[in-house]
Amino acid sequence: MSGVRVLVGTHKGGFVLTADGKRKHWDVAGPHFAGWEVYHVKGSPVEPNRLYASQTSGWFGQIIQRSDDGGKTWETAGNEFKYDGVPGTHQWYDGTQHPWEFKRVWHLEPSLTDPDTVYAGAEDAALFRSADGGQTWQEISGLRQHGSGPKWQPGAGGMCLHTIVLDPSQPGRIFIAISAAGAFRTDDGGATWKPINRGLRSTSIPDPDAEVGHCVHRIAMHPSRPGVLFMQKHWDVMRSDDAGDTWHEVSGNLPTDFGFPIEVHAHEPETIYVVPIKSDSEHYPPEGKLRVYRSRTGGNEWEALTNGLPQSDCYVNVLRDAMAVDALDSCGVYFGTTGGQVYGSADAGDSWAPIVRDLPAVLSVEVQTLP
Amino acid sequence: MIRVELPSHLRKLARVAGELELQVDGPVTVETVLDALEERYPMLRGTIRDHGTKRRRAFMRFFACEQDLSHEPPDSPLPEAVAQGREPLLIVGAMAGG
């Protein structure tokens, strides 16, 4: 029988949650890398037992871990992330220029075709690639050398490259997003990049329609329609129907259009999910009610999904990488909170139940659908 | 042999228990001890000092013989008691909450 494996990164370790296809009874394994921040864990789509994990610490820096047995055992991989050439400078919080400094890996994106190839999104913002299972890393420096780098600036969480979306229909096409620079696309495997932020409007920057400087929180794509992108921006939920060349707002009737994650249903490319958060300073659900919002129309028309979620006194946040879907029928949806709960829905969001309630603050959630 | 004590997180990473003993040829300094440590346990590279610059990470400390040697030049000789193996070099994560 098929099953799912939920890979959870938290402030104090990583966890692996597994269940059969019914998704009712869960086995919880961990913490792996106890005491370390685990920003992200993700499996190879072509070899699901190959997992990569980003393990970091303010004391000891960055570690990359690799598993070949679905997360039961781990081996350290390479952790040298060296910017290509002279790193240059970006804008600092006070408006001065500040040199690029590697801090941590926010996101690991395994290749769609080769289990030994994996991309890493770093803070300070840069994209790295390994073709040897994470042993050595090379910067894809065309992104940082695009020319707009001096205008990039850190968001509240740091200047991180947090989203990497690989286009299954065009091997050379990659979308990335940076807080706070915006979204970028390459069509030639990373040699050249262009900002894809037309249509974004951010009132917290001097030119609201600027080419770069937007605080994009997350981008999602359905693999069957790689030209359609959905974005949760700092404020505003956005949609593009031309691979990011232009965007339009689809926040519609959301109670607030601030938030972090955005995700697409595994089988319905027009069904999307967000978790509205009250504001950029009040990082919790409006009215203390934890609600996932689902649109079955690709945006604009949203319905609140509340069954099984706390509807009073709930003041947790859901971070940008902390939502994912499985590919079972019906589609499972999962998200983790800064309060340490991981909620799952086996019916596309109609009802929810906590898988675990008391983990450390959840930084990321990924899901693997197993044969 | 030079005795080295690692913080628990790095012992786990290196899969060692308790104190380590390292052979260091030539002068015994923080730099040469870390060179020997990283040679034997490559997974520790980058966790105590930067890969490229070899600068100590901000929240790492080097103690020996009840002295804080963190701010000494890394090529300064370590105390004789460390060089002779009577006392360990303590590699410590700074107290900084967490």
Write out pLDDT tens, residues A14-33: 999 999 999 999 999 999 99
Decide if pLDDT at B98 tops 60. no
pLDDT class for A231, splitting at 50, 70, 90?
Answer: very high
Residue in B45, B51, B59 nearest the CB of A58 = B59
pLDDT single digits (tens) B4-45: 999 999 999 999 999 999 999 999 999 999 999 999 999 999
User: What SS3 class is residue A125?
Assistant: coil
Could you tell me the domains of chain B?
2-93 (3.10.20.30)
The answer to whether the CB atoms of A59 and B13 lie below 8 A apart is: no
Min mean pLDDT across A202-211, A245-254, A335-344 is at A202-211
pLDDT class for A145, splitting at 50, 70, 90?
Answer: confident
Residue in B9, B43, B45 nearest the CB of A57 = B9
Residue in A58, A62, A82 nearest the CB of B98 = A58
Closest CA to A236 of A178, A271, A280, A194: A280
What is the distance in angstroms between the Cα of B47 and the nearest Cα belonging to chain A?
Answer: 4
Alpha helices in chain A (DSSP H): none
- The identity of residue A97, as a single letter, is Q
Decide if pLDDT at A197 tops 60. yes
Query: What is the share, in percent, of chain A residues with pLDDT greater than 70?
Result: 100
pLDDT single digits (tens) A275-295: 999 999 999 999 999 999 999
* Selected residue of A36, A37, A60 to mutate for chain B interface (largest B Cβ count, 10 A): A60
pLDDT single digits (tens) A81-132: 999 988 889 988 888 999 999 999 999 999 999 999 999 999 999 999 999 9
Alpha helices in B18-93 (DSSP H): 30-40, 80-83
pLDDT class for A2, splitting at 50, 70, 90?
Answer: confident
| The pLDDT value given to residue A283 | 96
* C-alpha torsion A26→A7→A38→A316, nearest 10: -70
Residue in B47, B94, B96 nearest the CB of A61 = B47
Burial of A306 (0-12, 13-18, 19+ CB in 10 A): middle
Q: How many CB atoms lie within 10 A of CB A168?
A: 14
Q: How many residues does chain A have?
A: 371
What is the distance in angstroms between the Cα of A337 and the nearest Cα belonging to chain B?
Answer: 19
The answer to whether the CB atoms of A63 and B60 lie below 8 A apart is: no
Give B57's contacts in chain A (Cβ within 8 Å): 59-61
- Under a CB-based contact definition with an 8 Å cutoff, are residues A5 and A70 in contact? yes
pLDDT single digits (tens) A34-75: 999 999 999 999 999 999 999 999 999 999 999 999 999 999
Q: How far apart are the first and last CA of chain A?
A: 7
What count of Cα atoms within 13 Å lies in the side-chain half-sphere of residue A200?
Answer: 30
The answer to whether the CB atoms of A60 and B57 lie below 8 A apart is: yes
The answer to whether the CB atoms of B46 and A59 lie below 8 A apart is: no
* Selected residue of B6, B13, B16, B37 to mutate for chain A interface (largest A Cβ count, 10 A): B13
Q: What is the CATH number of domain A47-317?
A: 2.130.10.10
The answer to whether the CB atoms of B59 and A59 lie below 8 A apart is: yes
Decide if pLDDT at B96 tops 80. no
What was the ipTM of the complex prediction? 0.93
As a whole number, mean pLDDT of residues A197-219 equals 93
Residue in A35, A60, A82 nearest the CB of B47 = A60
When the pLDDT of each residue in chain A is averaged and rounded to a whole number, the result is: 96
pTM as predicted = 0.96
pLDDT single digits (tens) A311-352: 999 999 999 999 999 999 999 999 999 999 999 999 999 999
* Largest Cα–Cα separation, chain B: 38
CA angle A232, A235, A237 (to 5 degrees): 40
- Under a CB-based contact definition with an 8 Å cutoff, are residues A219 and A209 in contact? no
Prior bond of A224 cis (ω within 30°): no
The answer to whether the CB atoms of A63 and B43 lie below 8 A apart is: yes
Decide if pLDDT at A1 tops 80. no
Q: How many CB atoms lie within 10 A of CB A368?
A: 23
